[in-house]
């Protein structure tokens, strides 16, 4: 895809990219060498020493449909896991390995330790329990004895393990009698092998299936070539990349797996550090207006706020003031959990520009979010006499033109589209920037170098922030305003959902408001909208009879959506039935209870964001997560929901998310070409990060196979 080789994120002054991801995006690496400004002041590109193995990137980049047994259906399921190419699959890091366990004769089974047994199937039976579970029991015998091996909810087992089949079973004696099976193999030991990799999987693609596919793809590993200069690899004492991949997927010991992982992590970190070094170099050469000290308008702003700022907010503001006083463009990340009060800080920064007769702009990833911000900001701006305009693609062109003279702009990317010409943009706030799709990134008017404040509610552990944002400064609002009570979170099985609605009604009767979040269906925005509408109608007839219900989804006309939100805010509606469009930015402090339907389908970070819509005022708030029964959920889904019940601390949840999903996904950057830290474990890899940092400057002006590889990968998508 040609677009990939060009960073299309707002650029200023023709040189500085506003995106912190540019620093980390692999596409960014490409831009920085091929862009118009290039690296004139750097040494001309040297030849990167060719590695010993000749890379065959086309095989690494080849689609998974090239593997035996992968048809269109499986390909789609794999795609949902972010796996499209052989390279994706081989970069899918096991999140753990099976322990080595002894092989034990059946007669000697004892205690509840995990072991393997090997034997022959005598018979297989299947039955259903009262709770809709199916249980398969397979009688297995070896030379020493016989035992009933028990499988839960795997109806195909009876079919596969016919009498006479030779099996290897991994599991443990269960207290109820019998051998509870964790995994099994027919023939060669794979799933049951010591150090068998366990991959992040989905309900549709099991870890077992992934193991099979990886086994098929692994012979292609050397095709990746080895992009590291041989001398560097030797200095760093790292294994060849192909060997590292084999070690990660087929380790003979945990140490071997770890050595392989670290080699691959080094590649990732090195690439990031090269990009960061390049970007820092570019930024040094651009200029922004110095905004001096805060003055009269800021004093009035502080007075107009209905509360005093918290020490955390004051701290962030001091750091922003220091940045704005300089002629170097600010590049600061304002990080704070949902509800921590980032918006008032953002408005502060914007008003600092207005105070100097310049302009400020706040860019949001969605119209809903832009409109939400506008509702908050416009109110305050009116009080201060600061003209403020909403610019989204749904605002009629005529109105947009009229708004052109405003001092403050709030909008989506439409804001930065061709018809808007900033008179003098001095401060830009970019909210939830990781939610911008690559394709949405439009060029900001050229010839400016505004100060940029990035806001994110996705808590990013400090190590990660340093790694991926590199030269970006970070301000953190670590604590919410003091009057907040922690949200009470409950995980409720579907059959008891009526209790959740009972609680919700009780709160409505006390004068509170509520959200009901509809299940995350994978299909289109349109079908999600339809499902939400149907659910709203159903609730209006059943659980929520006699309450005033609105339905918010991505297919509403913008004017209707604005009106709906305004009515909810004014308490003309009791309940908002919504899709995930309410995930960010919606701010109604009187809404104190949320029911999330089929909560197991959502990711951890997403659930945390959703939950952040309640608990925004002084009242006790509740988040009720409804899901299928625990036994029916994947291991990962159970852990996610339990983690949400256990803590409201966004940072603790981020760490948990890291553990469950791997680093790259935390950023929500599923898009190809953005940071994919698949092998890096940031906390464990601090030393690698330092080494990559040290090696990067020497490679800044060099083009080489590391990049070629990514160009190749780009072409394949
Ligand atoms: P964020 O954008 O970080 O999720 P917001 O800026 O939307 O959070 O703030 C959440 C809520 O807290 C808003 O209703 C806001 O008015 C309120 N708020 C912000 N700062 C304070 C403060 N210092 N004291 C009390 N309430 C505050
Ligand atoms: Mg907000």
For residue range 8-28, what is the model confidence (pLDDT) as tens digits?
A: 333 333 222 333 333 323 222
Label residue 191 by pLDDT band (50, 70, 90). confident
For 97, 114, 154, 162, the CA distances from 180, given in Å and listed in that order, are 19, 10, 13, 18
- The number of the ligand 1 atom at minimal distance from the alpha carbon of 338 is 4
Please report, rounded to a whole number, the percentage of residues in the chain having pLDDT higher than 90.
36
- Residues 181-189 have a mean pLDDT of 85
The confidence score (pLDDT) of residue 217 equals 92
- CA dist 357 and 355 (Å) reads 6
Strand order in the sheet with 513-517: 488-493, 622-627, 591-596, 513-517, 575-578, 549-552
* Confidence band for 683, pLDDT divided at 50, 70 and 90: low
- pLDDT greater than 50 at residue 49: no
Q: Is the pTM of this model over 0.85?
A: no
Which of the ligands is closest to the CA of residue 305? 1
Q: For the residues 434-449, what does the mean pLDDT come to?
A: 38
Q: Is 342 in the pocket of ligand 1 (CB under 6 A)?
A: yes
128: confidence class by pLDDT, cuts 50, 70, 90: confident
- Helix, strand and coil percent figures for the chain, each rounded to 5: 45, 20, 40
Predicted confidence (pLDDT) at residue 680 exceeds the cutoff of 90: no
- Output the pLDDT for position 25: 30
Cβ–ligand 1 contact at 676 (below 6 Å)? no
Average pLDDT of span 692-696: 87
Contacts of 627-632 with CB under 8 Å at 24 or more apart are 627/491, 627/492, 627/493, 627/494, 627/598, 627/599, 627/600, 628/493, 628/494, 628/598, 628/600, 629/131, 629/493, 629/494, 629/495, 630/493, 631/131, 631/133, 631/152, 631/153, 632/153
Q: What is the mean pLDDT of residues 422-432?
A: 84
Q: Establish whether residue 338 lines the binding site of ligand 1, counting it when its CB lies within 6 angstroms of any ligand atom.
A: yes
Rounded average pLDDT over 270-284: 73
Q: How confident is the model at residue 462 (pLDDT cuts 50, 70, 90)?
A: low
Max mean pLDDT among 192-201, 663-672, 683-692 falls in: 192-201
> Residue 332 pLDDT more than 80?
yes
Report, as an integer, the average pLDDT of 208-221.
89
Q: Counting atoms of ligand 1 from 1, which one is nearest the CA of 308?
A: 23
Question: Which band of pLDDT confidence, cut at 50, 70 and 90, is reported for residue 192?
Answer: confident
The pLDDT value given to residue 198: 86
Look at 476-485, 490-499, 700-709 and tell me which has the smallest mean pLDDT: 700-709
pLDDT at 582 exceeding the cut of 80: no
Q: Which of 339, 410, 458 to mutate to test the pocket of ligand 1 (most atoms within 8 A of CB)?
A: 339
Please tell me which residue, 469 or 392, carries the higher pLDDT value.
392
Q: What is the pLDDT of residues 660-670, one digit of tens each?
A: 765 444 444 33
Whether the predicted pLDDT of 232 surpasses 50: yes
Q: Give the DSSP H or E segment for 141.
A: strand 134-141
**pLDDT attached to residue 382:** 92
Closest ligand to C-alpha of residue 370 is 2
Give the mean pLDDT of 356-379: 85
Q: pLDDT at position 459, please?
A: 60
């Amino acid at each position: 895809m040609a677009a990939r080789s060009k960073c299309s994120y707002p650029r200023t002054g023709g040189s500085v990219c506003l995106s912190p991801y540019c620093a980390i995006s692999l596409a960014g690496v490409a831009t920085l060498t091929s862009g118009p400004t290039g690296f004139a002041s750097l040494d001309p590109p040297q030849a990167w020493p060719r590695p010993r193995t000749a890379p065959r990137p086309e095989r690494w980049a080849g689609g998974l449909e090239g593997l035996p047994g992968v048809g269109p259906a499986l390909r789609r399921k794999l795609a949902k896991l972010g796996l499209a190419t052989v390279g994706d699959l081989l970069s899918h890091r096991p999140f753990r390995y099976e322990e080595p366990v002894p092989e034990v004769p059946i007669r000697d089974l004892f205690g509840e330790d995990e072991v393997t047994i090997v034997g022959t199937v005598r018979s297989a039976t299947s039955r259903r329990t009262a709770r809709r579970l199916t249980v398969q029991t397979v009688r297995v015998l070896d030379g020493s004895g016989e035992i009933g091996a028990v499988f839960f909810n795997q109806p195909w087992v009876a079919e596969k393990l016919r009498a006479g089949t030779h099996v290897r079973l991994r599991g443990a004696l269960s207290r109820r009698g019998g051998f509870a099976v964790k995994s099994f193999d027919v023939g060669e030991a794979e799933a049951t092998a010591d150090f068998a990799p366990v991959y992040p999987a989905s309900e549709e693609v099991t870890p077992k299936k992934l193991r099979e596919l990886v086994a098929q793809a692994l012979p292609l590993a050397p095709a990746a070539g080895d992009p590291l200069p041989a001398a560097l690899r030797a200095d760093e004492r790292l294994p060849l990349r192909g060997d590292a991949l084999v070690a990660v997927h087929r380790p003979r010991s945990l140490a071997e797996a770890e050595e392989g992982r670290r080699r691959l992590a080094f590649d990732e970190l090195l690439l990031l550090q090269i990009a960061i070094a390049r970007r820092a170099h570019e930024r040094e050469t651009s200029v922004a207006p110095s905004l001096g000290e805060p003055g009269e308008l800021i004093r009035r702003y502080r007075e107009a706020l209905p509360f005093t700022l918290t020490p955390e907010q004051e701290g962030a503001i001091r750091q922003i003031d220091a940045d704005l006083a300089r002629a170097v463009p600010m590049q600061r990340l304002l990080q704070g959990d949902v509800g921590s009060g980032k918006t008032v800080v953002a408005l502060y920064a914007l008003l600092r520009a207005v105070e100097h007769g310049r302009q400020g702009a706040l860019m949001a990833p969605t119209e809903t979010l832009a409109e939400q911000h506008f509702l908050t900001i416009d109110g305050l701006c009116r009080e201060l006499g600061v003209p403020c305009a909403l610019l989204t693609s749904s605002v009629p062109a005529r109105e947009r033109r009229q708004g052109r003279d405003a001092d403050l702009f709030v909008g989506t990317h439409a804001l930065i589209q061709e018809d808007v010409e900033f008179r003098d943009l001095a401060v830009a706030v970019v909210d939830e920037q990781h939610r911008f799709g690559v394709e949405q990134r439009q060029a900001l008017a050229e010839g400016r170098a505004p100060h940029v404040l990035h806001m994110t509610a996705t808590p990013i552990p400090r190590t990660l922030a340093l790694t991926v944002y590199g030269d970006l400064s970070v301000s953190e609002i670590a604590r919410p305003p003091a009057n907040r009570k922690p949200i009470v979170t409950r995980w409720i099985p579907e059959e008891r959902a009526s209790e959740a609605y009972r609680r919700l009604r009780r709160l409505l009767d006390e004068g509170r408001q509520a959200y009901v979040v509809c299940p995350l269906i994978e299909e289109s925005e349109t079908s999600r909208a339809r499902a939400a509408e149907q659910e709203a109608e159903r609730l209006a007839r059943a659980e929520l009879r006699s309450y005033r219900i609105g339905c918010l989804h991505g297919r509403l006309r913008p004017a209707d959506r604005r009106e709906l939100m305004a009515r909810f805010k004014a308490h003309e509606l009791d309940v908002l039935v919504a899709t995930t469009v309410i995930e960010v930015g919606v701010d109604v402090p009187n809404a104190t209870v949320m029911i999330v339907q089929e909560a197991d389908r959502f990711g951890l970070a997403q659930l945390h964001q959703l939950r952040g819509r309640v608990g925004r005022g002084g009242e006790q708030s509740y988040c009720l997560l409804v899901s299928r029964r625990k036994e029916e959920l994947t291991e990962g889904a159970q852990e996610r929901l339990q983690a949400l019940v256990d803590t409201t601390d966004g940072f603790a949840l981020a760490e948990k998310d890291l553990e469950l999903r791997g680093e790259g996904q935390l950023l929500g950057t599923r898009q190809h070409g953005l940071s994919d830290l698949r092998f890096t474990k940031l906390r464990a890899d601090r030393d690698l990060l330092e080494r990559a940092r040290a090696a990067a400057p020497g490679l800044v002006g060099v083009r080489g196979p590391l990049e070629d590889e990514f160009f190749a990968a780009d072409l394949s998508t």
